[in-house]
Amino acid sequence: MEISACFAPWEAEEPPMSHFEYMGRCVALVILHKRVYDAHMSPAFFKTLLGRRVTLCDLRPVDADLYRSLCWMLENDITGVLDETFTVTEPVRGGGVRTVELCAGGEHIKVTQSNKRSYVDARVRYRLYGRVQRQTEAFRKGLNGIVPIGLLQDFTEQELSVLFCAAPNVDMKIWMTRTRYTGYTSTDLVIMWFWKCVNEWTDAQRAKLLLFVTGTPRVSVGEFQDELSRRGPNDFIIERAGNPWDLPTSHACASTLHLPPYPHYETLKKKLLYAVE
């Protein structure tokens, strides 16, 4: 079972809400009986499940393209550049599209330099919760019927992921074998520094790196083998990109880490840790 923050509402046959309620009950039973279920649940999904505010950072592993677009909007002056309103257009079942207002009267509110932060916040909330609100509430109902949501409020979303899926156990040999390089080779000093750094990290830190690059904190031998049959011979890409003073960036949709050519090991170690933490 693959669980994420995005249940596509435009699919040809949308599952009935009872299916999502049933999924919530299954998760509750896993927690109640202290079992581990081999599934990944997005931290953003846990946040919405617990009624917590989602942020732009939560969007990155779910929709990397939208994340980059919204980051660009925040980092640049959009005056005279964008012609947007507080709406979003998305496909619907059976073909066609629909326009959804991100706030009351959003169709008549222009996105400007002064209100772009509000627009970004509204886009993030809709992408991670608004468009799947019914499904999320059904899931919460099923979970709450067995394990009261209030009992989970003291946990962070990362802790809940461990509670449900257990701590990730990353097989470094498999990870290194299934890595491809663009602009680097496996013998380049930066790459050797990278693996030295990752080997020194804890499993929790490695999980954060995997989440940063691939959108999932779990990479086991079985999962790699499953992915190989679907996606080809490689599942993790390290690409040479950026300047030595830049932080590493990622493209989660392509499982790609953009790693600058750092001149020293300590520089790589510091910037990589800062990027994933």
Residues of the chain with CATH 3.30.2410.10: 172-276
Residues of the chain with CATH 3.90.1750.10: 17-54+132-165
According to CATH, what is the number of the domain 57-128?
A: 3.30.2160.10
Least confident of 11-20, 119-128, 190-199: 11-20
Assign a CATH topology to domain 17-54+132-165. Hect, E3 ligase catalytic domain fold (3.90.1750)
Annotated active-site residue 253? The verdict is yes
Catalytic residue among 6, 26, 71, 253: 253
pLDDT of 201: 86
Q: Is it the case that residue 17 has pLDDT exceeding 50?
A: yes
Q: How much is the average pLDDT of 73-85?
A: 92
Least confident of 100-104, 193-197, 227-231: 227-231
pLDDT of 86: 96
Length of the chain: 277
Residues of the chain with CATH 3.30.2160.10: 57-128
Least confident of 33-42, 57-66, 222-231, 245-254: 222-231
Contact 170, 176 (CB under 8 A): no
Cα distance between residue 245 and residue 266, in whole Å:
13
User: What does pLDDT average to over the chain?
Assistant: 80
pTM above 0.75, yes or no: no
State which amino acid sits at residue 171.
D
pLDDT of 111: 95
Hey, which residues does 100 pair with through a beta bridge?
88
CB-CB neighbours of 137 under 10 Å? 17
CB-CB neighbours of 172 under 10 Å? 13
Q: Options 3.40.50.300, 3.40.50.1370, 3.30.2410.10, 3.30.1330.180; which CATH number does 172-276 get?
A: 3.30.2410.10
Least confident of 28-37, 55-64, 161-170: 161-170
